[in-house]
A and B are shown apart, each in its own frame.
Chain A
Amino acid sequence: MARPGLQARPAPAGCYNRGVSPLSDPPLTKRQLGWLLILAGGLGALAGLGVDVVSAGGWPGLGPAQAQAVGAAALLALLGLSLLPLGDRPA
């Protein structure tokens, strides 16, 4: 029989406890995932645009594959933005 006072308090529905112990490995939240996607999208867009800086692109200006890559990276960042309001719900 569980003893009152020693029983772990149940987590509220729709969220979870973070950092229960130094060894705990909590799952990502929607917000954290959102930030990760924004970071990945931003870095991806920078890398796509940076191709021209190192003169690796085969086209003058923004090439078609490059434009697609930058567009996909921007979409990824937008997707991340849309996740930020979802807060601490597990991703």
Chain B
Amino acid sequence: MIPVAVGSRVVDLRPLPRWARWLSAALLGLAALALIGQFLVYVHYAGALLRFPFDYDQGEGFELYDTFLHTQGRWPYQDSQVFPFYTSIYPPLYHLITAPLVMAFGPQLWTGRLVSFLASLTAAAAIAWAVRRETGQTVIAALSGLAFLASNYTFAIGPLFRQHMSMVMFETLAIVTLAGFDWNGSGREDAKGTRPEPRFAAAWPPSRFNRRLYLGAGLLLAAGFTKQLALATALAALAYLFLRGPRRALLAGLGLALVGGALFFWIDWQTDGWWFISIIRANINEYDLAQTLAFYREWLALHAVVAAAAFGCVIHELYFGRLSAYGLWFVFAFANGALSGKFGAGESYFVTATAAACLLTGLAAGSIVRFISSDPATRTTPHSPVFAFFASLRFKTVLSLAIPLFFLFQTRLTLHLYTDGPVYGPLARLLGVADNSGRGYYDSQGYTQLGPRPTRADYEAGVTIAELARQAPGPVFSEEAAFLFAAGKPVVTNPFVQLVMFQAGLFDPAEEIRMIEAQAFGLVILRAQFYPPPVLAALGARYQPKTEVQMNGFTYRLLEPRP
């Protein structure tokens, strides 16, 4: 007999033919190898970004500035209509978590990138832990966590100095904490029979409001104060609690609203109302339905396997079982993707749905493995012809081969790797893929700005720009903040925020334009030109091109005052 290790316990696949057991184990090993390979590419990418001291994704430097302000005991939520024309539209938790590193090592981009990278690993570990807890299948659990990290979207934004991945981490931890939260006291007989008792019931004494609920609620609050997008996960968690006990859910929701509301109004009071304007009103942007649909199509195409498994799980739970926290989380997170049509939104809005889908895929695969190893003779219900087919050795054999093949197929769908160098070059040729970014990087989603490693030339370009900024007299008007940190100049403006606030009628650029017309800035550094049109017009009128520098595939235009 060949025991196939598909879990902490060696799964007994004796019912299957010998060749099927071997083949299943080999395919599972291949799937694990492929996902571990993708993980190593991710680590490589993260390592490259940790060493790169300038903005890689537009906006990273401003999040560093938010963190820097927190280290000085100052809020970043302020009136952006006066010098230095700066405010932040993100909640503070991620910046506060990163603040000790910035205090210890100075304003360096690697600090927040490291926090985000570790957050992505924690989210993946939480997914794996939940799958392991629910199914007992260690290998399937590991594949589920790795599948999350192998997603193009997780890969691209994972090691950035952005708060998104920390939000996903808190969301995942909250759902994993709350899932399986069933009070088994009197009046809750439903917990028996239709669902096995949670293994950890002894560790968490039955109670209406036990530590698990408080911890889960705390993690939801943390997610919300990391990024506003976590609202969908909070609603999913409350919906789950509502299904299990409406009164308790309403009380929990009330408590959450009270604590969250108190914090919200305290910060608003501390910032003279600029918190509300920056966090809420500035985030109500123009909406493009076509953009939303394009993002949905792309996510579904790249994550077809895990998406199908997740939808299958939800339908099964809805009609044949009980809706789980994971299933509801996926539904809410997938629906929340509709917000990706907002101006400035992007693929990152689907990372939470990816996490939920990978978790549900692990649960589905784990259940199938359990089914394969089950003995049909132990069933108490009569065997129908349909059941006989599904319980047949042939069908179980197909299933045992399908699981690793599905993981392999999913890995191919999200494939991304570098295409040059002594290791990546031959590997890319072996896999039949070639550079499609123009920067030695292949991504199955096509051309993408994020993913390629910064090169030595990119580093030197950043140093050149920073040096020009250092030599310029007075403050520098820069679309990216990292140059200013490197040059020892104050951070002035937050372009994208200005643009969306201008569009929403929340930003009057009069004072900024007055300073531009007075040529108060010694140098202007532009990349995407995400400034309000009147500001760009004023810059064009009073400043002239000085030089252009290529960095990370972008052209940085440097302007100097016209004579």
Q: Tell me the A residues contacting B by CB distance below 8 Å.
A: 8, 10-11, 13-14, 16-17, 20-21, 23-28, 33, 64-65, 68, 82-83, 86, 89-91
Contact = CB atoms under 8 A, between A and B. Distances in A.
Interface stretch (B97-105, B119-127, B189-197, B467-475): B189-197
B193 A24 contact: no
Q: Chain A's interface: helix, strand, loop or mixed, by majority? A: loop
B186 A20 contact: yes
Most buried by B among A23, A24, A64, A91: A91
B275 to A, nearest CB: 27
B502 interface: no
Contacts of A64: 289
Interface in B182-215: 183, 186-190, 192-194, 208
Contacts of A28: 242-243, 246
Contacts of A10: 189, 192
Contact of B187 (A17, A33, A82): A17
B192 A11 contact: yes
Contacts of B208: 25
B122 to A, nearest CB: 31
A90 B322 contact: yes
Nearest to A19: B187
A26 B187 contact: yes
B322 A91 contact: yes
A27 B289 CA distance: 37
A68 B245 contact: no
A90 B190 contact: yes
B247 A21 contact: no
A11 B289 contact: no
B194 A14 contact: yes
Contacts of B189: 10-11, 16-17
Contacts of A20: 186-187
Interface string B465-488: 000000000000000000000000
Contact of A21 (B183, B186, B246): B186
Given A68-B289, A90-B322, A91-B323, A21 B193 contact: no
B544 to A, nearest CB: 40
A14 B319 CA distance: 12
B194 A21 contact: no
B186 A27 contact: no
Nearest to A16: B190
A21 to B, nearest CB: 6
B192 A86 contact: no
B303 interface: no
B248 A25 contact: yes
Given A13-B194, A26-B188, 6 more contacts: A11-B190, A25-B208, A25-B246, A64-B289, A91-B243, A91-B323
A27 B193 contact: no
5 contacts: A10-B189, A11-B193, A13-B194, A24-B188, A25-B246
Given A8-B186, A16-B190, A25 B247 contact: yes
Contacts of B243: 27-28, 33, 91
A68 B289 CA distance: 9
A87 to B, nearest CB: 12
Contact of A27 (B190, B192, B318): B190
Nearest to A69: B338
Contacts of A17: 187, 189
B242 A24 contact: no
A49 to B, nearest CB: 18
B318 A83 contact: yes
A45 to B, nearest CB: 16
B276 interface: no
Interface in B277-294: 287, 289
Interface string B211-251: 00000000000000000000000000000001111111000
Nearest to A24: B187
Nearest to B186: A20
- A-B residue pairs, 4 tightest by C-beta: A24-B187, A16-B190, A25-B245, A11-B189
Nearest to A23: B187
Contacts of A24: 186-188
B247 to A, nearest CB: 4
A47 B194 CA distance: 37
B209 to A, nearest CB: 11
Interface string B314-325: 000011001100
Contacts of B245: 25-27
Contacts of B323: 33, 91
